[in-house]
């Protein structure tokens, strides 16, 4: 048994070049989202490869999902290989979309350049290296001829970077992540090669607007400035809300540790005249000011509590500040999720990290969300983690890269973990 899995480890080591080449191949599809480019080509490359190992391939288009149209169809691929007996299904889910390249690159973001033991490119770290590692891990397991009683699934899904509605959410709503057909999920997001990520904080985005009355800017006393009202809101956020949030702690092992609290970011401020004109502005008192807030919350908090805290601040201003009027509008919300740290997928993956890297895995939560939310909340599948190569901090940055040693090590961890889960109780 031990000898057998060691043979799989050696096979993965021998396939180092192949793993690098597969990562490069995936990076060369410029799957930028928005708008959602080259999804079909990338999904088909994954499907065609896995078909050769006996997988049944299905392409599922996220019809009617945000951004889906004939020019940019939301094409997901789901590959399944039945097991030799009655065992659980282990599913690897990776998003194929990447964020825009942005400025500041010193290499071609879609070339997959290899230099000094790293592969560079948009999506190397987040998360095409992770997809490649899961594919090579699964192939090595299959080629070993070891009995694999449970089913293996690999999916390449779209739109994670824009909420996952045409991807994992779409599949989860249609039963693809029902606990009756899939039992364990590993999402190879870049959380670092020695960390097992069990969940993420919640999100509430909202737009707050203060209202005023327009008047001539030379006689502001005849109007009522929405910007000054917003100033009062910002002052309360700064001096009342933010200190309270940063004093709130959590049992969630969020990394980096500074994110182990509630946080609130003010994403934008818009007030007064818009800037879409040339020449000089006109003198007016602003009758509207809007901010967008990004509140990240903890498993110990409820969404109602989170919203209520902001509403309280605004209601108090209504009572205390003459003329103060506001509106509050939800833009986006995600509840926090956290898998059981003693669940099968966490234990199998942590044991695999120890066997491959010779050190204990760190159990963490992510500061931001990823597709686990849909698998947990829509699919009701709880035994789900993120584990993959790539350094979390490099995601979405210029000159993003993945270290080849980490890439190979993560493939070994995935193969070991999947093997243990597939043969559990066998």
**Least distance (Å) between residue 254 CB and Zn ion:** 17
**Least distance (Å) between residue 73 CB and Zn ion:** 21
Whether the CB-CB separation of 122 and 98 falls below 8 Å is answered with: yes
Nearer to Zn ion, 13 or 294 (CB): 294
Residues in the chain: 426
C-alpha neighbours within 13 Å on the C-beta side of residue 373: 20
Long-range contacts of 255-258 (CB under 8 A, 24+ apart): 255/191, 255/195, 255/362, 255/364, 255/365, 255/366, 255/367, 255/392, 256/367
For Zn ion, what does the binding mask look like between residues 298 and 337, x meaning CB under 5 A? ----------------------------------------
Only one residue has tokens 């193969």, namely 415
The region of 70-78, 124-132, 227-235, 410-418 touching Zn ion under the rule CB under 5 A is: 124-132
Nearer to Zn ion, 200 or 229 (CB): 200
Cα-Cα-Cα-Cα torsion 42, 46, 51, 56, nearest 10 degrees, comes to -90
Burial of 288 (0-12, 13-18, 19+ CB in 10 A): middle
The region of 76-84, 108-116, 119-127, 405-413 touching Zn ion under the rule CB under 5 A is: 119-127
Nearer to Zn ion, 189 or 376 (CB): 189
**Least distance (Å) between residue 396 CB and Zn ion:** 9
Nearer to Zn ion, 11 or 93 (CB): 93
**Least distance (Å) between residue 222 CB and Zn ion:** 52
| Tokens of residue 52, six digits | 């050769």
Quickly list DSSP for 202-236: EEEEEEEEEE-B--BTT-GGGSB-HHHHHHHHHHH
127 part of the interface to Zn ion, by CB under 5 A: yes
Nearer to Zn ion, 189 or 194 (CB): 189
Cα distance from N-terminal residue to C-terminal residue, the chain:
12
Nearer to Zn ion, 189 or 309 (CB): 189
Whole-number Å distance between alpha carbons of 161 and 238: 29
Whole-number Å distance between alpha carbons of 81 and 55: 5
**Least distance (Å) between residue 96 CB and Zn ion:** 10
Nearer to Zn ion, 306 or 385 (CB): 385
| Tokens of residue 186, six digits | 């590993």
* C-alpha separations of 111 from 114, 120, 144, 156, 246 in Å: 9, 8, 32, 20, 42
Total of residues contacting Zn ion (CB under 5 A)? 3
**Least distance (Å) between residue 283 CB and Zn ion:** 47
The region of 53-61, 66-74, 126-134, 314-322 touching Zn ion under the rule CB under 5 A is: 126-134
**Least distance (Å) between residue 281 CB and Zn ion:** 41
For Zn ion, what does the binding mask look like between residues 67 and 106, x meaning CB under 5 A? ----------------------------------------
Nearer to Zn ion, 26 or 127 (CB): 127
26 part of the interface to Zn ion, by CB under 5 A: no
Nearer to Zn ion, 127 or 348 (CB): 127
Nearer to Zn ion, 127 or 384 (CB): 127
CA-nearest of 144, 185, 146, 132 to 410 is: 132
126 part of the interface to Zn ion, by CB under 5 A: yes
**Least distance (Å) between residue 132 CB and Zn ion:** 14
CA-nearest of 309, 310, 276 to 291 is: 310
For Zn ion, what does the binding mask look like between residues 161 and 200, x meaning CB under 5 A? ----------------------------x-----------
* C-alpha separations of 232 from 88, 349, 367, 377 in Å: 56, 49, 29, 37
**Least distance (Å) between residue 126 CB and Zn ion:** 4
**Least distance (Å) between residue 297 CB and Zn ion:** 21
Whole-number Å distance between alpha carbons of 416 and 410: 10
Q: Which residue is nearest to Zn ion (CB)?
A: 126
**Least distance (Å) between residue 97 CB and Zn ion:** 8
Cα-Cα-Cα-Cα torsion 103, 107, 111, 114, nearest 10 degrees, comes to -140
Q: How many CB atoms lie within 10 A of CB 90?
A: 31
The region of 14-22, 56-64, 127-135, 173-181 touching Zn ion under the rule CB under 5 A is: 127-135
Nearer to Zn ion, 46 or 286 (CB): 46
Residues in contact with Zn ion by CB under 5 A are 126-127, 189
């Amino acid at each position: 048994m031990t000898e057998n899995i060691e043979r799989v480890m050696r096979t993965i080591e021998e396939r180092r070049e192949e793993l690098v080449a597969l990562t490069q191949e995936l990076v060369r599809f410029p799957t930028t989202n928005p708008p959602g480019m080259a999804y079909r080509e990338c999904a088909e490359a994954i499907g065609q490869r896995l078909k050769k190992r006996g997988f049944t391939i299905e392409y599922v288009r996220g019809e009617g999902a945000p951004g889906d149209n004939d020019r940019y169809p939301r094409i997901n691929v789901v590959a399944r290989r039945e097991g030799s007996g009655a065992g659980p299904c282990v599913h690897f889910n990776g998003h194929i979309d990447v964020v825009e390249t942005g400025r500041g690159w010193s290499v071609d973001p879609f070339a997959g350049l290899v230099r000094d033991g790293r592969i560079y490119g948009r999506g190397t770290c987040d998360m095409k290296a992770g997809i490649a590692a899961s594919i090579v891990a699964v192939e090595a397991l299959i080629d070993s001829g070891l009995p694999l009683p449970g089913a293996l699934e690999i999916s390449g899904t779209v739109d994670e970077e824009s909420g996952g509605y045409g991807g994992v959410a779409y599949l989860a709503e249609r039963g693809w992540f029902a606990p009756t057909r899939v039992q364990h999920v590993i999402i190879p997001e870049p959380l670092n090669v020695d960390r097992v990520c069990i969940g993420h904080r919640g999100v509430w985005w909202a737009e707050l607007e203060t209202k005023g009355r327009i008047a001539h800017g030379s006689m502001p006393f005849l109007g009522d400035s929405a910007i000054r009202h917003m100033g009062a809101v910002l002052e309360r956020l700064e001096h009342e809300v933010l200190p309270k949030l940063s004093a709130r702690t959590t049992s969630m092992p969020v990394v980096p540790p500074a994110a182990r609290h509630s946080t609130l970011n003010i994403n934008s401020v818009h007030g007064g005249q818009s800037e879409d004109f040339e020449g000089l502005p006109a003198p007016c008192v602003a009758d509207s000011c809007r901010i967008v807030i990004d509140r990240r919350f903890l498993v110990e908090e409820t969404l109602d509590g989170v919203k209520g805290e902001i509403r309280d601040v605004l209601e108090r201003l209504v009572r205390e500040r003459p003329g103060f009027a506001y509106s509050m509008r939800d833009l986006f919300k995600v509840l926090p999720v956290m898998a059981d740290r003693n669940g099968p997928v966490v234990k199998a993956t942590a044991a695999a990290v120890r066997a491959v890297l010779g050190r204990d895995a760190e159990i963490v939560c992510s500061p931001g969300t990823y597709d686990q939310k849909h698998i947990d909340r829509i699919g009701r599948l709880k035994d789900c983690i993120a584990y993959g190569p790539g350094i979390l901090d490099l995601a979405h940055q210029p000159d993003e890269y993945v270290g080849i040693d980490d890439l190979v090590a993560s493939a070994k961890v995935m193969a070991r973990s999947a093997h243990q889960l597939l043969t559990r109780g066998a």
